[in-house]
Amino acid sequence: MMEKTWDVIIVGAGPAGLTAGIYTARQGHSTLILDGGKVGGRALEAHRIDNFPGFPKGVTGEELMRLFNDHAERFGAEFRRETVIGLSDAGKTKMVSTRGGFHQARTVIIATGIQRRQLSIPGEEEFRGHGVSYCATCDGPFFRGKTVAVVGSGHEAVADALALTEVADKVYTIPGPKGYSEAYPELEKLRASPKVEALEGCEVEEIQGADAVANIKLKGGKIPTVSVDGVFLLLEHVATTGILTDAGVAVNETGCVVVDREQRTNLPGVYAAGDCSCQGYQVVTSAGEGARAALSAMKYIRETR
């Protein structure tokens, strides 16, 4: 027997999904939050978040996400640890299938985040949050006056390496054996910066250190080891799962969910927020998008009820 029809099902329990749940549950809408991993998403990995409003002394990602979770639970959002394997649009209702069964709702908010491709080399997991970062905008200020390496060949790696020259004393760029994937507009400026040293034709073999990152070991180049205080792994992200495209949700060429200013996807009643729409990659922007998606979903419920 099919259970009740929820007003809102939120797929993902990171900053965007939790904020959306706070908004919808607070307004009395039955809200189910589905997440197959840990509540909090990638924000849990943040050793310290210094730029979230209201926390002038900073806060760990784990503590901030616990507060988000408690807030959503306080208003009655229900959490279930289930991995979503399917989504279908049945008009007035949306069907969400998981490994545990089926759920139906009037609206769905996709807040699945993204996954970065990893190098999967020794030291990467060990020093995550202790010198290894996947977000220059998030963690760049922690390396003011220090030496960092930026690993990646895409546009984000180029743009973030250039941004890091504003805070770090020295930036090593390591695009990999094949070099940069395109002739990006910022490359000329990046290469002209006196703070930048390009290490092309090589790749990172190991990240080394004691309590924090101290060196990176290279292979295929002229320099075997480089001393650094931080390593930014800005590799391409893993494209959004085929579940969404199978359901007819529009994504762009890199797998980002396409949304408008109200977080609406191309399917009526289906919204997306946070990193899966590839617009901010910050806890605060994800939270804002989650709130906006929730407001749009509640408006849709009112108009279609």
pLDDT of amino acid 28: 97
- Same domain for 122 and 229? yes
pTM to 2 decimal places: 0.79
Map the chain to HEC letters: CCCCEEEEEEECCCHHHHHHHHHHHHCCCCEEEECCCCCCHHHHHCCCECCCCCCCCCECHHHHHHHHHHHHHHCCCEEECCCEEEEEEECCEEEEEECCEEEEEEEEEECCCCEECCCCCCCCCCCECCCEECCHHHHHHHHCCCEEEEECCCHHHHHHHHHHCCCCCEEEEECCCCCCCCCCCCHHHHHHCCCEEECCCCEEEEEEECCCEEEEEEECCCCCEEECCEEEECCCEECCCHHHHHHCCCECCCCCECCCCCCECCCCCEEECHHHHCCCCCHHHHHHHHHHHHHHHHHHHHHHC
pLDDT of amino acid 241: 62
- Same domain for 55 and 78? yes
pLDDT of amino acid 280: 75
- Same domain for 22 and 78? yes
Given 233, 264, 296, the domain boundary residue is 233
- Same domain for 270 and 289? yes
Give the rounded percent of residues in the chain with a pLDDT score beyond 70. 98
- What mean pLDDT is reported for the chain? 92
pLDDT of amino acid 283: 93
pLDDT tens-digit map of 178-223? 899 888 889 999 999 999 999 989 999 999 999 999 999 999 888 8
Domain with 43 in it: what CATH number? 3.50.50.60
pLDDT of amino acid 239: 58
pLDDT tens-digit map of 133-149? 988 888 899 999 999 99
- Same domain for 188 and 205? yes
- Same domain for 241 and 215? no
- Same domain for 122 and 224? yes
Given 213, 233, 253, the domain boundary residue is 233
* pLDDT beyond 70 at 1: no
- Same domain for 242 and 104? yes
pLDDT tens-digit map of 58-90? 999 999 999 999 999 999 999 999 989 999 998
- Same domain for 130 and 109? no
Number of domains forming the structure of the chain: 2
pLDDT of amino acid 182: 87
* pLDDT beyond 70 at 2: no
Q: pLDDT band at 120, cuts 50/70/90?
A: confident
- Same domain for 210 and 123? yes
Q: pLDDT band at 99, cuts 50/70/90?
A: confident
* pLDDT beyond 70 at 92: yes
* pLDDT beyond 60 at 163: yes
pLDDT tens-digit map of 28-42? 999 999 998 789 888
Domain hosting 180: range is: 118-233
Given 208, 233, 258, the domain boundary residue is 233
pLDDT tens-digit map of 229-269? 999 998 876 656 678 888 899 998 878 899 999 999 999 99
pLDDT of amino acid 134: 87
pLDDT of amino acid 193: 96
- Same domain for 127 and 218? yes
- Same domain for 160 and 204? yes
* pLDDT beyond 50 at 17: yes
